[in-house]
A and B are shown apart, each in its own frame.
Chain A
Amino acid sequence: EVQLVQSGAEVKKPGESLRISCQASGYSFTSHWIHWVRQMPGKGLDWMGRIDPSDSYTNYNPSFQGHVTISADKSINTAYLQWSSLKASDTAMYYCTFTSGSYDYWGLGTQVIVSS
């Protein structure tokens, strides 16, 4: 069974750093790009970027470039999304996902709350 298991909810202060994770199982991790999608409270979906786990090549949405870093460790089938300095506006649900032809798989999401 294909699964994307995301790390748990986080509550952070502005300026703090954070790394959330997405552990894949049930398929060949290096065969599909992993994407990260943001959903701010009550809002729509924003594609943040993607990573090819086979070589860690990344593409970013220009709106997120420089503010987040997407990485992956293929030895443990895990992708990451990290911030070095959080802002209140980073408060959102973050999903990891990949698509394989007519199938798509999503994690349950990681809720991130940034508040002083």
Chain B
Amino acid sequence: EIVLTQSPGTLSLSPGDRATLSCRTSQSVRSSNLAWYQQRPGQAPRLLIYETSIRATGIPDRFSGGGSGTDFTLTISRLEPEDFVVYYCQLYHTSPLGYTFGQGTKVEIK
């Protein structure tokens, strides 16, 4: 079973700062299987990035994803007030077949 570990648990930054969120997998995975989601309070999650680096429809270009192997990152180039919420990475895996979410990173206002 592949474990996803997101770090840090909480990231304290100011509007306009650059945010770098990490997602590490316990074994090497295919980049095509890694996605990032954003969840605002009281709302359903929404897809930000899929296949490690492709922005979902309607996602601003301040969001970018990268990485390979076991280390993946979500970068927010300049934090807007609405970006101070929770982010999850998600992996599609085949053994067992299914999906796993990381535990989440909360981006809070410093």
Residues of A within 8 A of B (CB): 35, 37, 44-47, 49-50, 59-62, 95, 97, 99, 102-104, 106-109
Given contacts A44-B88, A102-B54, A103-B57, contact A108 B44 (CB under 8 A): yes
**Is the pair A47, B98 in contact by a Cβ cutoff of 8 Å?**
yes
**Which among A44, A50, A60, A97 has the highest number of chain B CB atoms within 10 Å?**
A44
Question: Is B50 among interface residues, defined by CB-CB distance under 8 A?
Answer: yes
**Is the pair B103, A95 in contact by a Cβ cutoff of 8 Å?**
no
Closest chain B residue to A46 by CB distance?
Answer: B101
* Range class of the B interface residue count: 20 to 34
Further 5 A-B residue pairs, CB within 8 A, beyond A47-B99, A49-B98: A37-B45, A45-B45, A102-B56, A103-B57, A104-B46
Please give the distance in Å from B35's CB to the nearest CB on chain A.
Answer: 8
Query: Per-position contact with A for B13-46: 1 when CB-CB < 8 Å, else 0?
Result: 0000000000000000000000001010000111
Question: Is B47 among interface residues, defined by CB-CB distance under 8 A?
Answer: yes
Which of A47, A95, A106 is in CB contact (< 8 Å) with B100? A47
Please give the distance in Å from B108's CB to the nearest CB on chain A.
Answer: 15
How many angstroms between the C-alpha atoms of A103 and B55 in the bound complex?
10
Chain B residues lying within 8 Å of A47, measured Cβ to Cβ, are 90, 98-101
Question: Is B60 among interface residues, defined by CB-CB distance under 8 A?
Answer: no
Please give the distance in Å from B26's CB to the nearest CB on chain A.
Answer: 16
Q: List 8 A-B contacts (CB under 8 A).
A: A44-B88, A45-B37, A45-B39, A45-B104, A47-B99, A47-B100, A102-B50, A103-B47
Given contacts A104-B47, A106-B45, contact A35 B99 (CB under 8 A): yes
Chain A residues lying within 8 Å of B50, measured Cβ to Cβ, are 99, 102
Given contacts A35-B99, A47-B99, A61-B98, contact A106 B57 (CB under 8 A): no
**Is the pair B56, A62 in contact by a Cβ cutoff of 8 Å?**
no
